[in-house]
Amino acid sequence: MALEATVGDDGMVYIRETEQPDVVAVTTAAKWEAFVKGVLAGEFDHFAAEVAEVGEGAGTAGVAGGEAAARTCGAAHRS
């Protein structure tokens, strides 16, 4: 699973998951920036840790940490 984000001509940020590309979330650039800053600051790392703990030994492929997610989010936002 990966998230894709782009800024539309209207200035809104459009976000979708690659596994469900027809489902699109829309937000403002200001809210997206706040989210990316939170990811970079590690504010959501505990969610990834909880998922990793639940998935241990269950054959999960792993969970991307906050830093990797931040790089993805930041790169997608700048495009």
CB count in 10 Å sphere of residue 64? 14
Q: Which two tokens stand for residue 73?
A: 């989010």
pLDDT value for 56: 62
Cα 6 to Cα 77: distance, rounded to the nearest angstrom: 6
Cα 60 to Cα 50: distance, rounded to the nearest angstrom: 13
Where the chain has pLDDT below 50, the residues are 58-79
pLDDT value for 50: 77
pLDDT value for 65: 43
| Longest CA pairwise span in the chain (Å) | 45
pLDDT value for 49: 81
Q: Which two tokens stand for residue 65?
A: 């940490």
